């Protein structure tokens, strides 16, 4: 199976367990790996034969900007679920990073990574 990587997608969103995170918001970064068959597109050089990844990027941006969840695990799962609505995608890996979590004396980031597949791909 072929793989398409979409990396470094940054969006401002309102997911977090603390009330202020859902009001003030914060930056998130998403990396996606999309498994799909790219053979036809490789031969035809036609956008119609592949996934228009601009649609996936737009959907992820809207989801992060408009939805509010307590946990980044839930947001990552929502991104995976939305991405798998594209039937050409057989499997997705979502790597979601909370860029600057509101944790005192902590300057790192927090990342959750998960994989999901089409039900018939199992």
Q: Which residues are catalytic?
A: 98
Long-range Cβ contacts of 111-116 (<8 Å, 24+ apart): 112/72, 112/73, 112/76, 113/76, 114/73, 114/76, 114/77, 114/80, 115/80, 115/91, 116/77, 116/80, 116/81, 116/84, 116/91, 116/92
A 10 A CB-CB count for 92 gives 24
Terminal Cα distance for the chain, rounded: 14
């Amino acid at each position: 199976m072929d793989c398409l990587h979409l990396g470094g997608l940054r969006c401002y969103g309102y997911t977090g367990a603390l009330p202020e995170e859902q009001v003030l918001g914060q930056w998130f970064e998403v990396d996606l790996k999309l498994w799909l068959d790219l053979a036809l597109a490789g031969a035809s050089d036609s956008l119609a034969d592949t996934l228009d990844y601009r649609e996936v990027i737009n959907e992820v941006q809207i989801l992060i900007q408009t939805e509010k969840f307590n946990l980044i695990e839930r947001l990552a799962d929502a991104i995976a679920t939305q991405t798998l609505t594209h039937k050409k995608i057989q499997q997705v890996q979502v790597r979601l990073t909370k860029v600057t979590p509101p944790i005192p004396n902590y300057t790192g980031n927090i990342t959750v990574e998960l994989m999901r597949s089409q039900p018939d791909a199992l």
